[in-house]
Structure 1
């Protein structure tokens, strides 16, 4: 990736809907092309269209590149720009502000347990605006938040909320139960109950999620009398547990 963030689109034109985002250092597989537009598949299997202007050939070894925790960098060519949480830094990149950690430090920094995952979800995206298709603290949707937090901790989740429901294990249907930290709560506002929203339990009856109704990432008390939270309780389709290796 040449850019800090590249849009992943539903069709090969810039005016179409954003479906997800690709971050600097991510490796994708090109599966189709139309002029300057390429259809790509990410490591999570998610497919979409992006412009060749965002891409550079893979250098190999990207899996060993440093992880941005939110930093400002200077590239080898002298360009200075910001990188969001989760982006990767090429070896020749200098960190000017913020923090980046070596790839082999990610696991000890982001422990693979429910309490650590929930703590990251509550802290690292705090204040992020809601953005359909977004995956960073610069703008994130509900399933993008879940996928990116899980990835930091070495847990693989697919991109969309309904896919995440299929990739996790159901434990209850009660949104207000005493959930374990990092349990995923799924919701639907559709008559057919297809999953349309997801949040993560923090313990103590709280949930973090990115919701358009709240303007972005917020923490809810699931037993609150707030009309929106009351509606969420009725829309809950199930509470699922992450498959933590």
Structure 2
């Protein structure tokens, strides 16, 4: 089994081996993936973190030698946008980026400077609010999962990563995790609310901050009102999403 590791701040993972193909997810700096196939300048990979399969540009990753992997491991994650030094040059990295306990990243010199990697955060209302507000006003981006652009499930996945909870990449798969909460009034901050379309397919997810408040990525990461029917936009009061299920994942 061969692995590669991301060497750019954010590398698009695409549905097909083409720059014109839609982006379905992203590989952050220092995230690993299993190599499955090659097609010209693109590699088909399966991400180690969430087992997501797609195509990535070959020059945005580098091979991982088993000898390096055996003596290196991650210490935690970065939880703020920060600058590190890679091969002697500055690089901006994003929340959710792993910090490796090594002087190199698969042979590439890396200096994390004064960055303190985050161990799993304590699950509290205050910490949840701080973690989610880091993404506030981030533009919606299909397949994105950073403060430079994120989709709804990418936002949820990256926030929960900081609390030591691993979630799948897509909303409909995230909905299969955890225990059902019967009523909105019984929800707790940190519960996940899922929403479906006219065909009954789950297409959206957000994080409850209270029984009538939700933070989610829709146009941008925003805080809106929620009731037993679904989401109402805070300003327009328009109904935008219809509630399907609430799950408790921690």
Q: TM-score range by the shorter chain?
A: 0.7 to 0.9
Higher helix share: 1
Shift in Å, 1:117: 5.9
Shift in Å, 1:74: 1.5
Select which of 191, 195, 202 maps to 1:195: 202
Shift in Å, 1:81: 1.7
Shift in Å, 1:33: 1.6
Q: Work out the CA distance in 2 between the residues paired with 1:118 and 1:66.
A: 17
Select which of 236, 240, 244 maps to 2:243: 236
Higher strand share: 2
Partner of 1:48: 54
Contact 1:36 1:52 in 2 (8 A): yes
Contact 2:74 2:99 in 1 (8 A): no
Shift in Å, 1:62: 5.3
Select which of 90, 93, 118 maps to 1:83: 93
1:27-66 to 2 correspondence within 5 Å?
27-43=32-48, 44-58=50-64, 59-60=68-69, 63-65=73-75
Instruction: Give ranges in structure 1 of 5+ residues lacking alignment.
Output: none
Aligned CA RMSD, in angstroms, stands at: 2.2
Shift in Å, 1:83: 0.6
Q: Work out the CA distance in 1 between the residues paired with 2:72 and 2:243.
A: 39
Partner of 2:111: 94
Partner deviation per Cα, 1:51-103 (whole Å, 9 max, x = no partner) = 1111012241553255323211221x21212011111345433346xx6323x
1:32-181 to 2 correspondence within 5 Å?
32-43=37-48, 44-58=50-64, 59-60=68-69, 63-65=73-75, 67-68=77-78, 69-75=80-86, 77-90=87-100, 91-92=102-103, 93-95=110-112, 100-102=115-117, 105-107=118-120, 110-111=121-122, 113=123, 115=125, 118-172=128-182, 177-181=185-189
Query: How many matched pairs?
Result: 227
Instruction: Give ranges in structure 2 of 5+ residues lacking alignment.
Output: 1-5, 104-109
